Amino acid sequence: MTALMKMDPDIAGVISGEERREADKIILIASENYVSQAVIEAQGSILSNKYAEGYPSKRFYEGCEYVDEAESLAIERAKDLFKAEHCNVQPLSGTIANLAVYLTMLKPGDTILGMNLSHGGHLSHGAPASFTGRIFQSYHYGVSRETHLIDYDEVRTMARSVKPRMIVVGASSYSRIIDFGKFREIADEVGALLMSDIAHIAGLVAAGVHPSPVPYVDFVTSTTHKTLRGPRGAFILCRKEYASKIDSTVFPGLQGGPFMNIIAAKAVCFKEAQTEQFREYGKQIVRNAKALCQALKEKGYDIVTGSTDNHMFLVDLTNKGITGRDAAHALDRAGITLNKNVIPFDTQSPYVTSGIRIGTPIVTTRGMREREMAQIAEWIDRVLSNVSDKSLQKQVASEVKAFCTNYPIRPEIRNEG
Ligand code: PLP
């Protein structure tokens, strides 16, 4: 960063500070990851200089021969990775990708049925605070009060009653396998289109450790920056019959010039995700989540749904007498960063919450395994057993920092070593 340090020491300082934070702390935020140096180099490249409105070989600007190649590689690799007929790699974010699918297939006022935000769904699945909940008539299914698993009977009953034009399946905080086949049956029964948003689990789908929705759904949307371990952005998969409609909703419908540096970085991420090493990474994410979940359970923590099948789980702290907010603050001061999270049927507000969400994509990227998860559970328990003990938090933070020096933050450093 020599040029940046010279030109703008303030921003250089911000970046170094963030680099230190990422190195010194244990990050358990389920939606984040640490990308490879190769992804960083592509997204930090001069490809960001180039305007390329349009699609490969159909651009509105001259001079697109190199960026065309980057976008074509990204598209082909994504299609190959997810076994899809068509891919659009231009959406700037998961929310935009979802909006693009809705706006392609629905008219304002049409009915959508998505997962309840407070049961694990995402804002962009028709929540009232999101424009997706204002443009469309949106209804929500949730999880069972007893098991906290998706209540497929409720999905069916609601679908029969509200007759949605589109059903949305996918979540931001749901720890179990999603049965896309069952959603297909329900969608077919009521004549609805089916979209799956795999933002959280895309890396697990790519690695083959979560079933793929591709054979079952009409549209798949995903971000690239969570378990998939790519740059911040998104993509859409669909069958050929919808390809040109989806493409024209993304551009010119919703976006202008695509971020060609990010598209190149997506291509790198898809290439990385095609490797045996990445498949092993996906498996280890799940093994780590199960191990951390089990270790906390043994210490008396109440796990929503009792366990996990993927990269994350929710802890209900009600029996510990602490709120999610207080737990998250105390843990962050102790060098363990995660987020407070509503649990299904939470009685606390979303700013306070009764739960925390724990995810293992980053610790797995750093090379930690089951043994390290046991150690992390010890620290979490120590801190949460005395949430207001600031000197304990300081002590744990220094232990965490020393521990973290053994785990590099770039995946390929570990691979080369
Ligand atoms: N979909 C799901 C399931 C998500 O969890 C998220 C983000 O957390 C998104 C979509 C939105 O992605 P973005 O933040 O890129 O808009």
The verdict on whether 240 is a catalytic residue reads no
Residue 350: alpha-carbon gap to chain centroid:
19
The verdict on residue 1 lying in a domain is: no
The answer on 383 and 344 residing in a single domain is yes
407 part of the active site: no
The pTM score is: 0.97
Q: Is 197 a catalytic residue?
A: yes
Rounded percentage of the chain residues whose pLDDT exceeds 90: 98
The dihedral formed by the CA atoms of 245, 251, 253 and 259, expressed in degrees to the nearest 10: 140
3-state SS class at 40: helix
Angle at 22 between CA 16 and CA 26, to 5 degrees: 155
Q: Which of 272, 289, 324 is the last residue of a domain?
A: 272
Atom of ligand 1 nearest to the CA of 93: 15
CB 311 within 8 A of CB 286: yes
The rounded Å distance from CA 356 to ligand 1 centre is: 18
Say yes or no: 168 and 310 in one domain: no
- Say yes or no to pLDDT of 415 above 70: no
Domain boundary among 250, 272, 294: 272
Residue 241 lies in a domain: yes
CA dihedral 75, 76, 77, 80 (to 10 degrees): 120
Closest CA to 387 of 304, 322, 336, 342: 322
| Residues 6 or more apart in contact with residue 90 via CB below 8 angstroms | 71, 250, 251, 255, 258, 263
The pick from 31, 119, 124, 174 for probing ligand 1's pocket by mutation, whose C-beta has the most ligand atoms within 8 angstroms, reads: 124
Q: Is 232 a catalytic residue?
A: yes
Tokens of 210: 């979560």
Q: Is 199 in the pocket of ligand 1 (CB under 6 A)?
A: yes
Place of tokens 């020393």: 402
Q: Determine which helix (DSSP H) or strand (DSSP E) holds 303, and give its type and residue range.
A: strand 302-303
Residue 146 annotated to the active site: no
In the chain, DSSP finds a helix count (H) and a strand count (E) of 17, 15
Ligand 1 pocket member 354 (CB < 6 A): no
Mean pLDDT estimate for the chain: 97
Q: Assess whether 139 carries a catalytic annotation.
A: no
Does residue 30 belong to any structural domain of this protein? Answer: no
Give 143-183 pLDDT, tens digit per residue. 999 999 999 999 999 999 999 999 999 999 999 999 999 99
- CATH code, 287: 3.90.1150.10
Number of domains in the chain: 2
Question: What are the pLDDT digits (tens) for 253-272?
Answer: 999 999 999 999 999 999 99
Nearest CA to ligand 1 atom 9: 94
Q: How far is CA 12 from CA 19, 46, 63, 224, in A?
A: 11, 19, 32, 26
**Count of all residues that appear for the chain in the document:** 417
The 10s digit of each residue's pLDDT in 388-414 is: 999 999 999 999 999 999 999 987 634
Q: How far apart are the first and last CA of the chain?
A: 24
Helix intervals (H) in 118-248: 131-135, 152-162, 180-190, 202-207, 240-248
Give the DSSP letter of residue 125. G
Q: Domain range holding 336?
A: 277-415
336-337 and 26-27: which strand pairing? parallel
Q: Which atom of ligand 1 is nearest to the CA of 233?
A: 15
What is the bridge-based pairing of β-strands 219-223 and 234-238?
antiparallel
Q: Tell me the pLDDT tens digit for each residue of 351-361.
A: 999 999 999 99
Q: Do 83 and 164 belong together in one domain?
A: yes
Tell me, yes or no, whether 7 lies in a domain: no
Sign of the four-CA dihedral 281, 285, 290, 293:
positive
Q: 175 near 147, Cβ under 8 Å?
A: no
CA distances from 38 to 19, 67, 395 (A): 17, 17, 35
In a 13 Å sphere around the CA of 205, the CA atoms on its Cβ side amount to: 31
Q: What is the mean pLDDT of residues 59-65?
A: 97
For ligand 1, whether the C-beta of 31 sits within 6 Å is yes
CB of 323 closer than 6 A to ligand 1?
A: no
93 lines ligand 1 (CB under 6 A): yes
Within this chain, do residues 86 and 152 fall inside the same structural domain, yes or no?
Answer: yes
Residue 124: exposure state from Cβ atoms within 10 A (0-12, 13-18, ≥19): buried
CA of 411 to the centre of ligand 1 (A): 23
Q: Per the domain annotation, does 23 fall within a domain?
A: no
CA of 232 to the centre of ligand 1 (A): 10
| Ligand 1 contacts CB of residue 164 (under 6 A) | no
Pocket perturbation via mutation, ligand 1, pick of 223, 259, 310, 339 by most ligand atoms within 8 A of CB: 223
Domain boundary among 272, 295, 317: 272
**Ligand 1 nearest atom to the CA of residue 95, by list position:** 16
Whether the pLDDT of residue 417 is over 70: the answer is no
Same domain, 296 and 338: yes
Beta carbon of 348 within 6 Å of any ligand 1 atom: no
Residue 19 has pLDDT above 50, yes or no: yes
- 121-147 mean pLDDT: 96
Helix, strand or coil, per DSSP, at residue 138: strand
The reply to whether 378 and 347 lie within a common domain is yes
- Residues 251 and 285 occupy one common structural domain: no
Letter string b/e over residues 341-351, b meaning 16 or more CB atoms within 10 A of that residue's CB: bbbbebebeee
Residue 401 lies in a domain: yes
Peptide bond into 56 cis (omega under 30): no
Are 285 and 241 within one domain?
Answer: no
**359 by DSSP, 3-state: which?**
strand
Ligand 1 and 223: CB distance under 6 A = yes
Q: What is the pLDDT of residue 1?
A: 77
Q: Judge if 164 and 195 occupy the same domain.
A: yes
Token look-up 């929705």 returns 213
122 C-alpha vs ligand 1 centroid, how far in Å?
Answer: 7
Question: What CATH number does the domain containing 49 carry?
Answer: 3.40.640.10
292 and 219: one domain?
no
Separation CA 17–CA 381 (nearest Å): 28
Beta-carbon count within 10 A of 242 CB? 20
Statement to judge: residues 296 and 189 lie in one domain:
no
Tell me whether residue 190 is in a domain: yes
Distance 378 CA to ligand 1 centre (A): 31
The residue contributing the CA closest to ligand 1 atom 13 is 94
Is 21 part of any domain?
no
What would the two tokens of residue 196 be?
Answer: 């799956």
Residues 158 and 112 both lie in one domain: yes
